[in-house]
Amino acid sequence: MGFFQKIKGFLVSDKNPPLTRRDEQGFVTMSNGSAAGEERVFSQNRFYIEEGILKLEEGKCPYCGYELENPPSRKRNCPSCKNDMYVRTLPYVDEAKKVRVLVTEEKAEKIDIAWAKIAGTYEELIKDKKRFEEMKQQLFNAWGTVPSDSDVNWHLMMNNRIEHYNNQQWGLYRNTTLRMAEHL
Ligand SMILES: [Zn+2]
């Protein structure tokens, strides 16, 4: 079957879609008419069709399409175009349907925001971003060179740790200390 026949087939088969409702977080409720036939899914297609988002298993750079030897498991540099590639999981309801993707920096941020909205931590995320930028500026002023993300995160963690210590929040103090150890 040719490409256009496939597209046509897809459009025709989609002519009578199940009843769908979309909410503001991007979740879609599909129904076959009965309450028991309702299924809530994340509209992952909304992300798939965007430039800069590829399924992890495709193993290609989301910037230049360079074929990677192995799909990375975490942030990595493309050997060809040298851009940072990020590994993310698209928001899901059913864990069995989760999809891992390899994305550009811009799309990673977009996916993080989508996740934060779902988790109800969007405000926190924005505050974290602000704290990050402030620390970056502070280090830049002190050092005279642009600090790496890793340096900024390290200093943010040190500050957190001191704050927890002062507030005698030992659980949080311990967590931050462990995270710092992982960061090394
Ligand atoms: Zn590349």
Distance 27 CA to ligand 1 centre (A): 31
Distance CA 140, CA 153 (A): 14
Distance 73 CA to ligand 1 centre (A): 16
Q: Starting from the edge strand earliest in sequence, which strands make up the sheet with 27-31, in order?
A: 19-22, 27-31, 39-42
* pLDDT cut 70: percent of the chain above it: 72
Distance 85 CA to ligand 1 centre (A): 8
Distance 70 CA to ligand 1 centre (A): 14
pLDDT at 2 over 60: no
Least confident interval from 25-39, 57-71, 110-124, 143-157? 25-39
Q: Are both 152 and 172 inside the same structural domain?
A: yes
Q: Are both 135 and 106 inside the same structural domain?
A: no
Highest-confidence range of 10-14, 76-80, 161-165, by mean pLDDT?
76-80
Distance CA 27, CA 6 (A): 27
Q: What is the pLDDT of residue 10?
A: 46
Q: Which residues, in sequence order, are CB contacts of 86 under 8 Å at separation 6+?
A: 75, 102, 103, 104, 105, 107, 108
In whole numbers, what is the pLDDT of the chain averaged over residues?
A: 80
- In tens, the pLDDT along 43-83 reads 666 666 678 988 899 999 999 999 999 899 899 999 999 99
- Total domains present in the chain: 3
Distance 62 CA to ligand 1 centre (A): 7
Q: Are both 35 and 93 inside the same structural domain?
A: no
If one compares 20 and 167, the residue with the highest pLDDT of the two is 167
Final residue in a domain of this structure, among 82, 105, 120: 120
Cβ–Cβ < 8 Å for 61, 80: yes
Q: Are both 48 and 114 inside the same structural domain?
A: yes
If one compares 6 and 95, the residue with the highest pLDDT of the two is 95
Distance 87 CA to ligand 1 centre (A): 14
Which domain, by its residues, includes 156? Answer: 122-183
If one compares 146 and 184, the residue with the highest pLDDT of the two is 146
Final residue in a domain of this structure, among 120, 141, 169: 120
Q: Which residues, in sequence order, are CB contacts of 50 under 8 Å at separation 6+?
A: 107
Q: Are both 55 and 16 inside the same structural domain?
A: no
pLDDT at 84 over 70: yes
Mean pLDDT of 38-45: 60
Distance 7 CA to ligand 1 centre (A): 29
Distance 100 CA to ligand 1 centre (A): 18
Q: Are both 137 and 100 inside the same structural domain?
A: no
Q: What is the pLDDT of residue 159?
A: 87
Distance 104 CA to ligand 1 centre (A): 10
Q: Are both 116 and 131 inside the same structural domain?
A: no
Final residue in a domain of this structure, among 27, 42, 57: 42
